[in-house]
Amino acid sequence: MINSILDVEEQIVVKQKPAKPALQGPGIMSGAQAVLEAFLAEDVDTIFGYPGGAIMPIYDALYDYQEKLKHILVRHEQGGIHAAQGYARASGRTGVVFATSGPGATNLVTGLADAMIDSTPLVCITGQVFAHLLGTDAFQEVDVVNITTPVTKWNYQVTDASEIPLVLSKAFYIAKTGRPGPVLIDITKNAQLDKFSYEGYKRCDHIRSYRPKPVIRKEYIEEAAKLINEAKKPFVLWGQGVILGKAEKEFKAFLEKSGIPAAWTILGASAIPTDHPLNVGMLGMHGNYGPNVLTNECDVMIAIGMRFDDRVTGRLDKYAKQAKVIHLDIDPSEIDKNVKATVGVWGDCKETLPILTKLVEQKEHTEWLEKFHEYSKKETELVIYPELNPTGEKLTMGEVINQINLLTKGDAIMVTDVGQHQMVTCRYAKFNQSKSNITSGGAGTMGFGLPAAIGAKFGAPERTVIAIVGDGGIQMTIQELGTIMQTEVNVKIVILNNEFLGMVRQWQQLFHDKRYSFVDITSPDYVTVAKGYGIAGRKVSARGDLQPALQEMFNHNGSYLLEVMVAKEDNVFPMVPQGCSVAEIRLA
């Protein structure tokens, strides 16, 4: 617990402006002001929000805090929460959201569900009607706490101003510690308006009933090390836990000493560079050939900070049955949930990995690694090369991503929406540093990409942020172009337009006899739409125009929208069809 708080602070020292705004001392203060004081004490610098009746006292207080807290006015609350997610994922900090009561709050639900399943730390503040009106069907009254209970790590309704400092300190503590997640605090209007005797802000560092960080039990790690040392064909699967635990260095050290080939879930991508010799690629339904097939050949599987999602495992009763499984996770309910662990190591991998590294023998699994390379050769020949070097007239999604790689050298943050373009980006994008792949993994939320990219840029302003979106997803949250216009945030938007809801079309082609039921989607003239928002743009469909257009996009000072027309009926391969074992992965 103590360590994790230090981590946060360490990072803040690096990220924060040197002069920290002075905090208010004890005195009489409104609940609304106490919310903002809590933000300052928690080193919040950016809020994504949208005002409304029940949250007006907080917005009124914010008027006096404009110098200290940056507020990004989004165009829809869903855009606000996705932006906060992008901010959190790019920065490793907690995203903060404001929304009003009723529809403002219900518009957060999709983002909460997304953040919950993808373990993104958020603190969302919603306004609520006056406490005396609760349960009267008042204007814009919705039972927000109960609606959001299944999609929050914790939520709470404040009806008394004096509760605010303590509740907010708990909110930030819970969101960020253990397995992170979204927290929602619903504050009635009277609690925002009422004055109370403020006694200063104390950061929460302990809740009796909540144990986010277990002390490491060395005997389990010893058992794990023994299995690893005896293994002939060990295989590491890593997930976002490595990134959330800020354990990239520790993870790399473990891999390099043990010499074990490692594959990633899409949320784990970028924790180690794409071109690391032990990085053998992506797991799951559209992952790489070797990692999927060899899952069913390894003798010891080491899962680190991942949760064996069904899109990763395929058919469970045919998943790695031959392997002994070591599962490192900070959330004990994940151990044995989907895949039974031979050895479960409950703990923060930043702490468990160094102990494990010390205990494992220095090895090189050359022959075993070579097997991955053999599968990779076959995949390159049959899938990757044709995708990246197509001979057809139409552009492929893969070649667009490849061209982007050549220009960014793998230094950009890639934010994707959901669908074919997402899988293609995860497969082909090159990553040199951690926190570079921001995508909606567990929830698969279309509309995530554009707002998340906006948030990512605020979270990591020094980096290039590219939103890769499809023609379906962009239309779900296209209104956030307005946020880009107003804030002048520099986001590069690449729409891969195949004039279809491509992933659904792919499934209909493969599993529903080409009955293309309502996947034929039309698009507006995106370049004109962008122009309407004052955003530069261009549309390309010829191969020769692609590279210059991308170059123009990167050279442009400010946001830019590039629409790329790609082949209409391309499919993403390899693919593990639903209900099949990972070993039954198809290359075509």
Partner 1 sequence: MDKKNTGNVSGSPSLTGGKQEYTITVYAENQVGLLVRIAIIFSRRKINIESINSSPSEIESISRFTIVIHETVDVVKKVARQIEKQVEVLKVYFNTNDEIVWQELAMYKVSTDQIAEKVQVERLLREYGARAVVIRKDYTVFETSGHREETDRLISFLSPYGLIEFVRSARVAIIKASHGFHDKLKEFEEAEPGEEAVENEYLNKQEEVFTM
Residues acting as catalytic residues = 77, 139-140, 189, 503
Is residue 365 near partner 1 by the rule CB under 8 A? Answer: no
Is residue 1 near partner 1 by the rule CB under 8 A? Answer: yes
State in angstroms the smallest separation of the CB of 69 from partner 1.
27
Q: Which is nearer to partner 1, 146 or 389 (CB)?
A: 146
Instruction: Starting at the earlier edge strand, list the strands of the sheet with 300-304.
Output: 279-282, 262-264, 234-238, 300-304, 324-329, 343-346
Please tell me the distance from the alpha carbon of residue 549 to that of residue 566, in angstroms, as a whole number.
Answer: 14
State in angstroms the smallest separation of the CB of 145 from partner 1.
6
State in angstroms the smallest separation of the CB of 233 from partner 1.
21
Single out the residue of 12, 216, 388, 407 in contact with partner 1 (rule: CB under 8 A): 216
Tokens of 188: 């009635």
Burial class (CB in 10 A: 0-12, 13-18, 19+), 273: middle
Is residue 215 near partner 1 by the rule CB under 8 A? Answer: yes
Q: Which is nearer to partner 1, 186 or 250 (CB)?
A: 186
Interacting span for partner 1 (CB under 8 A) from 239-247, 274-282, 285-293, 337-345? 337-345
Single out the residue of 83, 294, 341, 446 in contact with partner 1 (rule: CB under 8 A): 341
**In which residue are the tokens 């790689």 written?**
405
Is residue 2 near partner 1 by the rule CB under 8 A? Answer: yes
Q: Which is nearer to partner 1, 29 or 341 (CB)?
A: 341
Residue 444 has a CB neighbour count (10 Å cut-off) of 16
Tokens of 77: 């609350």
Residues in CB range of 307: below 8 A, 6 or more apart: 239, 329, 331, 334, 337, 338
Is residue 332 near partner 1 by the rule CB under 8 A? Answer: yes
Single out the residue of 132, 202, 232, 340 in contact with partner 1 (rule: CB under 8 A): 340
Q: Which is nearer to partner 1, 153 or 430 (CB)?
A: 153
DSSP assigned state of 383: I
Pattern 175-214, partner 1, x by CB under 8 A: -------------------------------xxxxxx-xx
Furthest-apart CA pair in the chain: how many Å?
A: 72
Interacting span for partner 1 (CB under 8 A) from 67-75, 292-300, 328-336, 456-464? 328-336
DSSP assigned state of 473: G
Tokens of 348: 């923060």
What ranges in 436-565 are assigned the alpha helix state H? 449-459, 481-487, 502-511, 526-532, 543-555
State in angstroms the smallest separation of the CB of 220 from partner 1.
7
State in angstroms the smallest separation of the CB of 143 from partner 1.
10
* Count of positions on this chain that bind partner 1 (CB under 8 A): 36
DSSP assigned state of 133: G
Q: Is 304 helix (H, G, I), strand (E, B) or coil?
A: strand
Q: Are strands 122-128 and 70-73 parallel, antiparallel or unpaired?
A: unpaired
Cis peptide before 574 (omega within 30 of 0): yes
Provide DSSP, 176-190.
HSSS--EEEEEEEHH
Pattern 443-482, partner 1, x by CB under 8 A: ----------------------------------------
Which residues ranging from 140 to 159 are in contact with partner 1 (CB under 8 A)? Answer: 145-146, 149-150, 153-157
Report in angstroms the alpha-carbon separations of 6 from 11, 46, 177, 508.
9, 21, 12, 50
Q: Which is nearer to partner 1, 356 or 585 (CB)?
A: 356
Tokens of 69: 């807290």
Is residue 337 near partner 1 by the rule CB under 8 A? Answer: yes
State in angstroms the smallest separation of the CB of 541 from partner 1.
46
Is residue 342 near partner 1 by the rule CB under 8 A? Answer: yes
State in angstroms the smallest separation of the CB of 455 from partner 1.
25
Is residue 310 near partner 1 by the rule CB under 8 A? Answer: no
Is residue 520 near partner 1 by the rule CB under 8 A? Answer: no
Is residue 172 near partner 1 by the rule CB under 8 A? Answer: no
Q: Which is nearer to partner 1, 1 or 567 (CB)?
A: 1
Which residues ranging from 343 to 362 are in contact with partner 1 (CB under 8 A)? Answer: 343-344, 346
Shortest CA distance to 186 belongs to which of 155, 212, 211, 165?
155
CA 19 to chain centroid, in Å, comes to 30
State in angstroms the smallest separation of the CB of 51 from partner 1.
26
State in angstroms the smallest separation of the CB of 219 from partner 1.
9
Q: Which is nearer to partner 1, 333 or 517 (CB)?
A: 333
> To which H or E segment does residue 96 belong?
strand 95-99
Which residues ranging from 484 to 513 are in contact with partner 1 (CB under 8 A)? Answer: none
Shortest CA distance to 239 belongs to which of 305, 186, 189?
305
Residues in CB range of 63: below 8 A, 6 or more apart: none
Burial class (CB in 10 A: 0-12, 13-18, 19+), 556: middle
Single out the residue of 50, 98, 220, 431 in contact with partner 1 (rule: CB under 8 A): 220
Please tell me the distance from the alpha carbon of residue 322 to that of residue 301, in angstroms, as a whole number.
Answer: 10
Residues near partner 1 (CB under 8 A) are 1-2, 145-146, 149-150, 153-157, 174, 206-211, 213-217, 220, 331-333, 335-337, 340-344, 346
